């Protein structure tokens, strides 16, 4: 271990961990403790209590008790908490960058993406929540006689189950719109990254969020997560498709709503007129950011036959030049995988592909000399159906390369997957890029970018099609999912069933005539 690694790992020290434990909505005394480890080194970071069903129920009860008063505050008052959080997360970023790195093993640049994302989302909903939540006039049954409005009410207590790969972003950015909409939140983070979630809870408290509104229950997903779904009024889940199906079944049995961002086998298409230099840089970022542990990262690259050889040469060179290793500064490009399980999956996918005839152009091996969980960014060709890597999500720094000769072929290959989360198209012609993008069955498609353009467009919805999930985060949909709509209609003069003293037959003729007039007047349709 280098001196830098020792010094910075020590900076996230026992005092910080103990301070954050005070934010856990689970008693520490008498509870089984679950350890978490530093991916860079394998050393113990800390432990958190294994939450029980009773712990979840108590946390939800506290949240429910606090939620009513919070919902009665104006949207403007609630938004001020988000504005203060925005300022705090930027000013306190050094501490959280260290913590995210020691819990997840990612490079510092990728950890900063989480800080920036939290600030962007906080700022967006602070300024636009009132607009999204405002009462809206709707067309009444009879113009002039029926006045109709739609109101939005918070659901109550929202349960959020967040994964380990983006421990700050996925714990916070789903929570912020829920909170500003007037809900309370109970969060169940992944056991590997509990302390990042607890840091976020501490910062929200410092930003002025009333106590009890944001609870954190640590523990195992199959226990605390399942219990959470059984207690809350809505659930937001990010994780695997297999677990997402279980979450959806549990939510359905209770007739509560859920939003699910699940797996992906995302593709990038390079058309024959793509800017090769930009596309190569984009492919490196899209495939190897966060060591490939990103739901919207690129795992399949389809390159037009006319530029394939030139692109491959550039792509391999840039991939081999990536700086891999542990560092608590911006001197490395790619960090560690998070766990032995992730490393085993990556190694198995590559091993199976090579055994079945795939060719390794770059990477293809682990790097125990750097740390226990490092794996080189890897490029494969000759990947075909039947290989595990061909269709299954790897969730690591591995991408397969394939040629295509026509746009129709590229789109068909891109859509040949049960997933539909993210995609990327590269061309010098933006109009053509949009036309190709519209044919791809994915919730977000980026033209001349890998994933960040669509993700960071916070005013637009983000989510998956097909097996990649239900519902959307970001934008209007990202906050309205946490509300129930209510229609209030005021009827004037007489009932829709007819004025007093008018026979049914006569009123029917009158109303039929009125409806015919409505059809002829565009403004009344």
- Determine the Cα–Cα distance for residues 300 and 380; give it in Å rounded to an integer: 10
Cβ neighbours of residue 136 under 8 Å, at least 6 residues apart? 149, 150
pLDDT digits over 429-460, tens only?
Answer: 999 999 999 999 999 999 999 999 999 999 99
pLDDT digits over 319-358, tens only?
Answer: 999 999 999 999 999 999 999 999 999 999 999 999 999 9
Average pLDDT over residues 407-416: 98
Domains annotated for the chain, with CATH where assigned, are 54-133+150-262 (3.40.605.10), 266-461 (3.40.309.10)
Confidence of residue 2 (pLDDT cuts 50, 70, 90): very low
pLDDT digits over 162-212, tens only?
Answer: 999 999 999 999 999 999 999 999 999 999 999 999 999 999 999 999 999
What are the CA-CA distances from residue 152 to residues 51, 130, 438, 483 (Å)? 33, 11, 32, 6
Q: Give the per-residue pLDDT at 3.
A: 46
Grouping H, G, I as helix, E, B as strand and the rest as coil, residue 423 is strand
Quick one: residue 73, left, alpha or beta (phi over 0 = left, psi -120 to 50 = alpha)? beta
- Determine the Cα–Cα distance for residues 497 and 486; give it in Å rounded to an integer: 23
Q: Give the per-residue pLDDT at 30.
A: 76
Q: Give the per-residue pLDDT at 343.
A: 98
Q: Which of 229, 222, 290, 219 is nearest to 256 (CA)?
A: 229
Average pLDDT over residues 362-384: 98
pLDDT digits over 476-490, tens only?
Answer: 999 999 999 999 999
Average pLDDT of the chain, as a whole number? 94
Residues assigned a catalytic role: 261
Average pLDDT over residues 505-523: 83
Average pLDDT over residues 18-29: 76
pLDDT digits over 89-127, tens only?
Answer: 999 999 999 999 999 999 999 999 999 999 999 999 999
Q: Residues of 355-394 as b/e, b for ≥16 C-beta within 10 angstroms?
A: eeebebbbbbebeeebbbbbbbbbbbbbbeeebbbbeebb
């Amino acid at each position: 271990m280098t001196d830098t690694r020792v010094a910075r790992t020590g900076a996230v020290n026992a005092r910080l961990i103990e301070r954050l434990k005070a934010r856990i909505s689970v008693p520490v005394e008498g509870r089984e403790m679950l350890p978490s480890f530093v991916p860079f080194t394998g050393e113990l970071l800390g432990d958190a209590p294994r939450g029980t069903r009773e712990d979840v129920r108590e946390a939800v009860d506290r949240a429910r008790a606090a939620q009513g008063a919070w919902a009665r505050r104006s949207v403007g008052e609630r938004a001020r908490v988000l504005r203060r959080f925005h300022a705090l997360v930027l000013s306190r970023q050094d501490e959280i960058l260290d913590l995210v790195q020691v819990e997840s093993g990612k490079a510092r640049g990728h950890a900063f993406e989480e800080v920036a994302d939290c600030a962007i989302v906080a700022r967006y909903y602070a300024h636009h929540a009132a607009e999204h939540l405002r009462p809206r006039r709707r067309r009444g049954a009879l113009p002039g006689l029926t006045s109709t409005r739609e109101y939005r009410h918070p659901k109550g207590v929202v349960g959020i189950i967040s994964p380990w790969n983006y421990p700050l972003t996925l714990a916070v950015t789903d929570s912020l719109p829920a909170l500003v909409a007037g809900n309370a939140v109970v969060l169940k983070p992944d056991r590997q990254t509990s302390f990042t979630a607890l840091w976020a809870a501490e910062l929200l408290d410092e930003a002025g969020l009333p106590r009890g509104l944001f609870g954190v229950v640590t523990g195992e997903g199959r226990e605390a997560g399942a219990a959470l779904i059984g207690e809350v009024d809505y659930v937001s889940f990010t994780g695997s498709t297999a677990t997402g199906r279980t979450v959806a079944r549990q939510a359905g049995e209770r007739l509560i709503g859920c939003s699910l961002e699940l797996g992906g086998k995302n593709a990038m298409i390079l058309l024959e007129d793509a800017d090769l230099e930009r596309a190569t840089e984009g492919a490196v970022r899209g495939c190897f950011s966060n060591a490939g542990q990103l739901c919207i990262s690129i795992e399949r690259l389809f390159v037009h036959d006319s530029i394939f050889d030139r692109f491959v040469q550039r792509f391999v060179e840039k991939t081999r030049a990536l700086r891999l290793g542990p560092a608590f500064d911006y001197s490395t490009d790619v960090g560690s995988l998070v766990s032995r399980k992730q490393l085993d999956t990556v190694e198995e996918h590559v091993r199976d592909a090579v055994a079945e005839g795939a060719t390794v152009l770059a990477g293809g091996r682990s790097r125990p000399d750097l740390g226990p969980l490092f794996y080189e960014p890897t490029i494969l060709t000759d990947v075909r159906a039947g290989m595990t890597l061909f269709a299954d999500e790897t969730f690591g720094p591995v991408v397969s390369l394939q040629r295509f000769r026509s746009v129709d072929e590229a789109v068909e290959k891109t859509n040949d997957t049960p997933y539909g989360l993210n995609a990327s198209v590269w061309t010098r012609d933006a109009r053509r890029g949009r036309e190709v993008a519209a044919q791809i069955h994915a919730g977000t498609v980026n033209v001349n970018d890998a994933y960040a353009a669509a993700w960071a467009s916070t005013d637009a919805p983000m989510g998956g099609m097909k097996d990649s999930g239900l519902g959307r985060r970001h934008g209007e949909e990202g906050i309205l999912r946490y509300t129930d709509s209510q229609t209030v209609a005021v009827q004037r003069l007489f009932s829709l069933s007819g004025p007093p003293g008018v026979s049914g037959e006569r009123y029917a003729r009158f109303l039929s005539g009125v409806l015919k007039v409505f059809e002829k007047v565009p403004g009344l349709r």
